């Protein structure tokens, strides 16, 4: 594989604990080495030193759009079409409310049963709040295309399934949806930073995503939202906050939306989280998303091959074809929970999703062949010898 | 004045720049001295060291409620009735949507012209989104009581006016509103940490507020929301996010609200901002809010007396009676903008609000008599000698 990305350098960008093989970056990315000092500096120098002046003099006010412009190329979106803030759930609400308003005569929100539950909850909460009889449909992922029709107002999907890693065909579903007059909302939580995304090419109306997975912004990092530029000016935001006002510091009593995607800003930007994100995004100065994807496919295949060869009790839950997968590999086992606890205890960190899924994030920015081999060996060791069958691994926290 | 609070110790808790007298803590509180190291530690030790395990092992998941319980006594609310997250604008949206749902047959939202514009924008955005003909009324602050009627669904006010520091009579307005079947929403942005608030006593349904002003959590710190305990169970949240689900990690496809105020959580908590907030709240281990208020009243009177005695061109914009004021003092002058720039250039930091208001936050946790005297002297010097009348002070950033 020829590559312009020096993966030894990207690995050195992160501070991974000694003895840990971390395959859970699809849930929370690891710490970029420079973050602690940058956070301390931002607090000491900018907040402590500039006080209220930081909003202008430290560039805090522009952070949401400046960092949006750094994320835009990773998702194939033009500059000025992405902004940041809030959590992904809030950004889903904003996008879905705006999408429904663009299709006021239709009453069906089409998603799928594989969507992240919070996206479905947000749709349920919005539908209840609107009281207009919107119907949320969640067919199995592979049946979504058959449910597209002129009844559907909005197609709202997460490109990559958080459990299986199954990937929707975003270009195809978007094209078909647009032919039927459906407004599209894509959640890129498991895509941004993991694989190339082509928002401009697929012509979808909205994209949202989080930054604490493959973009490594840390716990509670801000979410992003992209709006197709020709649509942005037509949106009257549901969450009409002062940072989305045309002139926040005019303190006008009436809301006037800011230009373009800036109207999707809501409240005061979370500056400390954005400092961590800004630091984390510097890895993209030395990494190309296409290289990351190619290496993720290679490492994933290596992992699947090794596990299938050594560990017959596990069943691949992810699609076998690389193009149908995101950047994670999942296996099923009825005792998946206990197996994962045993694996973590031995220093290989993945995670578990009910009822029986073991998830492994394959993140080439900081994982290499040796990590993959160690993970596969450890898994085979635990499963084949039944080492998971111990009280300390079987005891589960109640999820109520 | 007898006091249980050692204000020399609270002052030492903060790291204020040499030579600066900071009277803008009503906009952004200063840096607690321990924050830079605590942020660096949280990043290095918890995020870097525990990785995904931080959600349980570093207590990240409980932070919104744990810190809510620390804020609760400052606003006279019971434990378990306050949670944190998002921005104040999002919390206003949640509270207002829930309040309107509790009064479904009425169509008037009563606020006032002195409310912070973002609260009004949020009401406008929600009303447009609901499309049920809600009417937002914003009479002058002193006329709000006369506008209370059985037409009004929700009374939504900020206790302390961000420009003048004028304080609504929360107990009286709430009592009168409740007699008329009106649901009450109070924004405590300029109250929490500035003066005692008695949520339980006034019986209001909702309170919201930010933490980066008098609670010193830093730029973009999370907002809080309080729901009266007997109402919380009746709320079906508009922003139904997974962190407000009864069992977030069950990944249930249907939303079931968490108990009590926890249902007002939305998405993943902003952990780094919460670390700063948690550090900042430690000042309340050595400060009593009653003492802070008493000293704020004394320092405010000292400032008013000094400015009025030395600086006749300024007109007091704040109410004269301490009980009618929050913890800021405002003056008017037609050249207020330039005067404030000159003042800041000389190391006395307040701020300006259009068209003619000079604002000064009186924050005894880190200000003393010498600061007040210096600010008053500097102001008189600049105004009486016309030192503000220079191009560098008159040049304004456009607000468009």
- Delineate the domains of chain B, giving CATH numbers in brackets: 7-33+286-394 (3.90.1150.10), 62-268 (3.40.640.10)
A294 and A3 Cβ atoms separated by less than 8 Å: yes
pLDDT at B102: 98
HSE, CB side, 13 Å, CA atoms: give it for residue A83.
29
Cα distance between residue B130 and residue B68, in whole Å: 30
The confidence band for B75, taking pLDDT boundaries of 50, 70 and 90, is very high
Please check the confidence at residue B64 and state whether its pLDDT lies above 80.
yes
| A357-361, A393-397, B209-213, B264-268: least confident range | A393-397
Say what the pLDDT of residue B154 is. Answer: 98
d(CA B155, CA B78): 22
Q: What integer best gives the mean pLDDT of chain A?
A: 97
CA distance B131 to chain A (A): 8
User: What average pLDDT does this structure show over A132-151?
Assistant: 98
Is it the case that residue A2 has pLDDT exceeding 70?
no
Q: What is the pLDDT of residue A399?
A: 53
A159-172: per-residue pLDDT in tens? 999 999 999 999 99
Q: Is the pLDDT score of B397 beyond 70?
A: no
Nearest CB to B51; choose among A28, A222, A240: A28
User: Residue A271 and residue B48: Cβ atoms within 8 Å?
Assistant: no
Task: State mean pLDDT over A76-87.
Answer: 98
Tell me the shortest Cα–Cα distance from A358 to chain B, in angstroms. 15
Q: Kindly tell me if the per-residue pLDDT of A1 is higher than 50.
A: no
| Residues of A whose CB is below 8 A from B337 | none
pLDDT at B399 over 60: no
> What positions of B carry a catalytic annotation?
116, 187, 212-213, 359
Residues B224-245, mean pLDDT to the nearest whole number: 97
Contact flag A51-B28 (C-beta cutoff 8 Å): yes
pLDDT band for position B398 (cuts 50, 70, 90) = low
A255 pLDDT band, cuts 50/70/90, is very high
> Using the beta-carbon criterion (under 8 Å), do A90 and B266 form an inter-chain contact?
yes
Chain A residues in contact with B218 (beta carbon < 8 A): 43, 47, 271-272
Alpha helices in A42-149 (DSSP H): 49-50, 54-57, 63-71, 88-102, 117-130, 144-147
Q: What pLDDT score was predicted for residue A400? A: 46
Contact A276 B271 (CB under 8 A): no
- pLDDT exceeds 50 at position A193: yes
The mean per-residue pLDDT over the stretch A128-140 comes to 98
Is pLDDT above 50 for B215? yes
Confidence check: pLDDT of B395 > 60 = yes
pLDDT of B396: 75
Sequential DSSP letters for A322-358: GGGB-SEEEEE-TTHHHHHHHHHHTTEE-EEETTTEE
Mean pLDDT of B102-128: 98
Q: Record the tokens describing residue B247, joined without a space.
A: 């069992």
Predicted local confidence at residue A397, as pLDDT: 65
The 10s digit of each residue's pLDDT in B333-343 is 999 999 999 99
């Amino acid at each position: 594989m020829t590559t312009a990305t020096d993966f030894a350098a990207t690995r050195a960008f992160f501070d991974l604990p000694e003895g840990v093989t971390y395959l859970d970056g699809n849930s929370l990315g690891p710490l970029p080495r420079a973050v602690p000092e940058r956070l301390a500096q931002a607090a000491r120098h900018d907040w402590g030193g500039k006080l209220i002046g930081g909003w202008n003099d430290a560039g805090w006010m522009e952070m949401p759009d400046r960092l949006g412009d750094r994320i835009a190329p990773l998702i194939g979106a033009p500059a000025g079409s992405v902004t940041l803030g809030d959590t992904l759930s809030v950004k889903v609400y904003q996008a879905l409310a705006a999408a429904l308003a663009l299709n006021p005569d239709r009453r069906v929100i089409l998603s799928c049963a594989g969507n992240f539950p919070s996206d479905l909850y947000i749709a349920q909460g919005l539908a209840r709040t609107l009281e207009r009889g919107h119907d949320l449909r969640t067919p199995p992922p592979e049946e979504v295309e058959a449910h597209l029709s002129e009844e559907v107002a909005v197609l709202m999907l997460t490109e990559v399934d958080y459990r299986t890693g199954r990937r929707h065909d975003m270009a195809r579903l978007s094209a078909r949806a647009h032919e039927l007059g459906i407004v599209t909302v894509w959640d890129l939580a498991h895509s941004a930073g993991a694989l190339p995304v082509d928002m401009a090419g697929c012509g979808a109306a909205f994209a949202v995503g989080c930054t604490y997975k493959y973009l490594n912004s840390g716990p509670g990092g801000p979410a992003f939202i992209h709006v197709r530029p020709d649509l942005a000016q037509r949106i009257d935001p549901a969450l009409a906050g002062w940072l989305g006002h045309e002139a926040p510091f005019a303190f006008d009593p009436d809301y006037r939306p800011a230009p373009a995607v800036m109207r999707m800003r809501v409240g005061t930007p979370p500056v400390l989280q954005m400092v961590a994100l800004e630091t984390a995004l510097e890895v993209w100065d030395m990494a190309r998303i296409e290289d990351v994807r190619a290496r993720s496919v290679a490492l994933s295949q290596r992992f699947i091959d090794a596990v299938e060869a050594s560990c017959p009790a596990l069943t691949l839950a992810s699609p076998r074809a690389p193009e149908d997968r995101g950047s994670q590999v999942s296996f099923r086992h009825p005792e998946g929970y206990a197996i994962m606890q045993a694996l973590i205890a031995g220093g290989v960190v993945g995670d578990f999703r009910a009822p029986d899924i073991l998830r492994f994030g394959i993140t080439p920015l900081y994982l290499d062949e040796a990590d993959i081999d160690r993970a596969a060996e450890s898994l085979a060791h635990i499963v084949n010898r039944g080492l998971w069958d111990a009280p300390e691994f079987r005891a589960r926290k109640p999820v109520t």
